[in-house]
Amino acid sequence: MQLGQVLISENQIADAVGKLAGRVSRDYDLSRIVLVGAMDGAVCFLSDLMRAFAQPVDVTTVRMRRYDGTHGGEVTVSWLPLRDRIEGREVLIVEGIVDTGETCAVLSERLSELGAASVDICALLDKPSRRTHDIKATYIGFEVPDVFVVGYGMDYNGAYRSLRDVCVLEGGESELN
């Protein structure tokens, strides 16, 4: 595996984060919303998005895992917020990338079980060509082609997460899907 081309630059990301924060601010009462970041892939996006709002917002995270390297597996949720953080609240899942939609589907269901008044999704990246679940993000920064991406919080076996840009990870097609 080797790092390939820059797909989305740091400046493009910053611009998209600002626009997404503006859209969310227009659609929600920020004092009632709770952002739920899907870790670890959304770490950079969540950090930048929450700071882009004009007022403080409630933020929590969940630990989820689907990938082992580039191979998808069963979604596991190892930590969820307490019911009192979610019950009766408008919840916005913050995700680095929506790929098959399975992670967001599982998380949406779990948050609804905790009593969320509503659950929407805000994703920096959307890869609809790989969708296997009926999930649609309300807020999307960029639609990306069917390539494996790293950077800006997204990784390959722990590597490349700290890149400021989103880059393509090159390798054999069978290895990356």
Over residues 81-92, the pLDDT tens digits come to 677 889 999 999
pTM of this prediction? Answer: 0.89
- Is 99 an annotated catalytic residue? yes
pLDDT of residue 136: 92
Q: How many CA atoms lie within 13 A of 97 on its CB side?
A: 28
Counting as low any pLDDT under 70, the low residues of the chain are 65-81, 172-177
| Domains with residue ranges and CATH for the chain | 11-146 (3.40.50.2020)
pLDDT of residue 5: 96
List strand residue ranges (DSSP E) for the chain, in order: 2-8, 33-39, 58-68, 71-79, 90-98, 118-126, 139-143, 149-150, 166-170
Alpha-helix runs per DSSP H in the chain: 10-27, 43-52, 83-86, 102-113, 173-176
* Residue-wise pLDDT tens digits, 12-41: 999 999 999 999 999 999 999 999 998 888
Among 149, 175, 38, 150, smallest CA distance to 101 is for: 38
Among candidate residues 48, 99, 120, 126, the one labeled active-site is 99
d(CA 99, CA 38): 13
pLDDT of residue 129: 93
